[in-house]
Amino acid sequence: MWTWDDVDKYGLYGLTKQYPHLVQFLESIEGLHGKPMMSYCYFMFQRIVEMHRVLKPTGSIYLHCDPTASHYLKLVMDSVFGQKNFLNEIVWGYRTGGASKKWFGRKHDIILSYSVKIRSHIFNLMKERSYCSNNQPPGFKGVEKWKDEFGRWYTMASMRDVWEIDAIGRSSSERTGYPTQKPLELLRRIIKASSNEGDLVLDPFCGCATTCVAAEELGRKWIGIDVSEKAGELVMDRLHNIGLIHNLPAITNIVPTLANPVSKGKAKPILYAEQNGRCNHCGESEALDKRAYWHVDHIVPKKRGGQDQMSNYQLLCMGCNNRKSSMPDEWARAELQRVRDLVARNTFSRAS
């Protein structure tokens, strides 16, 4: 079960300012659905923001979720990527075993796709069979038609957003034993539609590397990330077994340092100007040369991978900085509450 500990509260602090209305919505999920769902959505929100940051204008994102969370995540996607960049809500239907007698079999997942910039994104139109009614050949002139092995007539139409693809069954030859493994065909379809040969595909929750394998087969470059050690081992094994990787690189766990770090001394006057001479938390002001008063603070602490970059700095007064370091989690939570109150008072203007 997801808990508030899964959320990076420090990172959230910056996001509350950027997405006040979304934060207000995410806060309300606790009352609508419960704390685990709220925590999960916050967790996803932070990652979706990063995906948006690294996605090229030609790229698309596909977010795979189950129907218990897809409606909440769609709001997150709409906020971060923009409603106008929405591409599809794909329904992936499958036929796994087990179903309730009290409702229809829950046999589909949702895949939400968005571009960063609509119309700049790559889309390779795909076709699928469209069967003609009454088994008659289509009456329209100039429409190409075919007969399948059972004598049924079909034409080729643009692929719809409803996909019937077999899930990984017990006897599937693809099966790795990874519990949430997805079929290669699903990833092949996504990768073919939204990238070209030589492009780079990123799966930040790659599990047993289905995306990586499909990308490699299709001549794309790829990056796979997963938090589970089991996944790390499986990725290597799977790629090795099918001959895609010959020399296994060592697992390093090194967080790369970004180029051109900015010193706190350099950052201080810039932040002072950006924040109009006010503490970024309480809003108090004081002259810049009052040395003990101002502290340049890492929004994401260095021990959590935060870097010496302007985007990760803020200027705090001494009091706020001391409070933040003595009770960091509570401080971040209080900051969320503060933004929520500001939103409730309509202090933020609505995003255009």
Ligand X SMILES: C[S@@+](CC[C@H](N)C(=O)[O-])C[C@H]1O[C@@H](n2cnc3c(N)ncnc32)[C@H](O)[C@@H]1O
Is 37 within 8 Å of 72 (Cβ atoms)? yes
Report in angstroms how near the CB of residue 137 gets to ligand X at its nearest: 40
Q: Residue 281's binding partner, choosing from ligand X, Zn ion, none, with beta-carbon cut-off 5 to 8 A by kind?
A: Zn ion
Cα dist. 79→72, 119, 189, 334 in Å? Answer: 11, 19, 26, 23
Nearest distance from residue 110's CB to ligand X, in Å? Answer: 13
- Which residue, 81 or 331, is less far from Zn ion as judged by CB? 331
| Residue 241 near ligand X by CB under 6 A | no
CB of 227 to ligand X, least distance (A): 4
How many residues sit close enough to Zn ion to count as binding (CB under 5 A)? 5
Question: CA dist 281 to 74, 266, 321, 322, Å?
Answer: 30, 21, 9, 12
121: contact with Zn ion by CB under 5 A: no
Cβ atoms 86, 78 nearer than 8 A: yes
**Residue 181 touches which member of ligand X, Zn ion, none, C-beta under 5-8 Å by kind:** ligand X
Minimum CB separation from ligand X for residue 264, in Å?
29
Find the residue with minimal CB distance to ligand X: 207
Please compute Rg for the chain using Cα positions.
25
Task: Give which of Zn ion, ligand X, none residue 317 binds (C-beta under 5 to 8 Å, depending on kind).
Answer: Zn ion
Residue 28 touches which of ligand X, Zn ion, none (Cβ within 5-8 Å per kind) = none
Nearest CB to ligand X, comparing residues 55 and 235: 235
Between 111 and 343, CB nearer to ligand X: 111
- Contact (Cβ atoms closer than 8 angstroms) between residue 47 and residue 204: yes
In the chain, % helix, strand, coil (3-state, to 5) comes to: 40, 15, 45
User: Is 254 in a helix, a strand, or coil?
Assistant: coil
Residue 247 in tokens: 């020399």
Q: In whole angstroms, how close is the CB of 44 to ligand X at the nearest point?
A: 10
Is there a contact between 217 and 193 (Cβ–Cβ < 8 Å)? Answer: no
Exposure pattern of 132-153 as b/e (b: 16+ CB <10 Å)?
A: eeeeeeeeeeeeeeeeeeeeeb
Per-position DSSP letters for 191-214, written without gaps between them = HHHH--TT-EEEETT-TTTHHHHH
Shortest distance, CB of residue 9 to ligand X, whole angstroms?
A: 15
By CB under 6 A, is residue 182 in contact with ligand X? yes
What is the C-alpha separation between 20 and 342, in angstroms, rounded?
9
Written in H, E and C, the secondary structure of 132-159 is CHHHCCCCCCCCCCEECCCCCEEEEEEC
Regarding 281 and contact with Zn ion (CB under 5 A), the answer is: yes
Binding of Zn ion at residue 317 (CB under 5 A)? yes
Which residue in this structure is represented by tokens 């810039």? 270
Span from 93-101, 175-183, 228-236, 272-280 in contact with Zn ion (CB under 5 A): 272-280
178 contributes a contact to ligand X by CB under 6 A: yes
In the list 205, 278, 319, 348, the residue contacting ligand X (rule: CB under 6 A) is: 205
For residue 282, the partner it binds in Zn ion, ligand X, none, with Cβ less than 5 to 8 A by kind, is Zn ion
What is the Cα–Cα distance from 288 to 294, expressed in whole angstroms?
7
Asked if 228 interacts with ligand X (CB under 6 A), we say yes
Choose, by CB under 6 A, the member of 1, 125, 227, 254 that binds ligand X: 227
The footprint of ligand X (CB under 6 A) covers: 178, 180-182, 204-208, 210, 225-228, 231
What residues line the site for Zn ion (CB under 5 A)? 279, 281-282, 317, 320
